[in-house]
């Protein structure tokens, strides 16, 4: 991967040796592999009942989520000593969200927990680094396949070290994966009625670590997300944009990690597809 050093990365090495992006990627890859090998894979399809807890409506958390987040937090602090915003830490203490306005790591320790708890793929690890509410670096790791997606702002998107350019499915009706779980019923019905004739609608994989790669690798053309929490989207939105696709708010504004519970995010394999879908959504009745 031929990337020149990025000065924004260097500022994050507080008291640590300066590192090149390649060295940073390798450190992240080593860490997520170790976390996967140590605490995630040993529990895959082997979770005891007491190791899965209800977290919220239609949401669960497992012992692997907690142990993965703890191990990632420890490892990331050694790479760059900036505040960490982990999904489980933020769920337990809402003040953690305040860290998103400054320099921080953003971590989803086990994205796709619903799938993992059911003993099925996909699931992965999402890590991003942000500054001033904007993600500038992101990593997406598929635990089972070891696919490793990397992006830095202005540097392009990579999969397993190879630069990628987003491509469409090429289907006559673009393939759209629409996340409905967090939409209220009235909005859900309106969205499906308004776009159903224009797209081939498919299920989402319940895993952003899988959905974002699908948008660039010719599997899906578009995806509409209702809930847009930072740990689910910081790395993926950056990676898709760097691949030449487009991820943005429905009004066209860039995705920011510090916008709290703001809803609505659209990703597409190219800007033209994004514009078409955004226009159709804007024309839906309130």
* DSSP string for 170-194: --SSPEEEE--TTS-HHHHHHHHHH
Output the six-digit token pair for 221.
């053309």
Write out the binding residues for Mg(2+).
Answer: 87, 108, 110-111, 232
* DSSP string for 13-48: -TTS----HHHHHHHHHHHHHHHIIIIIGGGTT---
Cα separation, 256 vs 4, in Å, equals 25
Cα–Cα distance list, 146 to 41, 125, 126, 159, 263 (Å): 12, 10, 13, 10, 30
Cα separation, 278 vs 198, in Å, equals 13
- The residue among 194, 244, 243, 201 whose CA lies nearest residue 223 is 201
Write out the binding residues.
Answer: 87, 108, 110-111, 232
- Cβ neighbours for 127, distance < 8 A, ≥ 6 positions apart: 28, 32, 72, 76, 105, 106, 107, 108, 138, 139, 141, 235
Cα separation, 53 vs 41, in Å, equals 18
Output the six-digit token pair for 212.
């974002």
């Amino acid at each position: 991967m031929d990337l020149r050093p990025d000065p924004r990365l260097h500022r994050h090495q507080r008291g640590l040796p300066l590192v090149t992006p390649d060295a940073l990627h390798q450190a992240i890859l080593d860490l997520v592999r170790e976390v996967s090998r140590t605490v995630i894979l040993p529990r895959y399809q082997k979770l005891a009942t007491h190791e899965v807890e209800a977290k919220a409506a239609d949401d669960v958390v497992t012992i692997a989520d907690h142990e993965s987040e703890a191990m990632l937090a420890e490892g990331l602090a050694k790479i760059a000593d900036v505040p960490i915003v982990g999904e489980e830490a933020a769920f337990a203490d809402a003040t953690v969200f305040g860290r998103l306005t400054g320099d921080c790591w953003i971590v989803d320790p086990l994205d796709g927990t619903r799938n993992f708890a059911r003993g099925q793929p996909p699931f992965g690890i999402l890590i991003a680094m942000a500054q001033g509410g904007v993600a500038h670096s992101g990593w997406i790791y598929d635990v089972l396949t070891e696919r490793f997606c990397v992006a830095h702002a202005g540097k392009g998107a990579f999969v397993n070290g190879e630069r990628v350019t987003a491509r469409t499915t090429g289907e006559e009706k673009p393939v759209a994966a629409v996340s409905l779980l967090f939409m209220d019923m009235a909005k859900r019905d309106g969205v499906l009625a308004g776009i159903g004739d224009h797209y081939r609608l498919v299920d989402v994989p319940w895993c952003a670590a899988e959905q974002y790669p699908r948008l660039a690798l010719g599997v899906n053309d578009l995806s509409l997300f209702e809930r847009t929490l930072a740990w689910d989207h910081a790395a993926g939105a950056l990676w898709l944009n760097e691949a030449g696709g487009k991820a943005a708010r429905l009004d066209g504004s860039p995705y920011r990690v510090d916008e709290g519970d703001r809803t609505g995010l659209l990703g597409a394999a190219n800007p033209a597809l994004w514009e078409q879908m955004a226009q159709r959504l804007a024309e839906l009745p309130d």
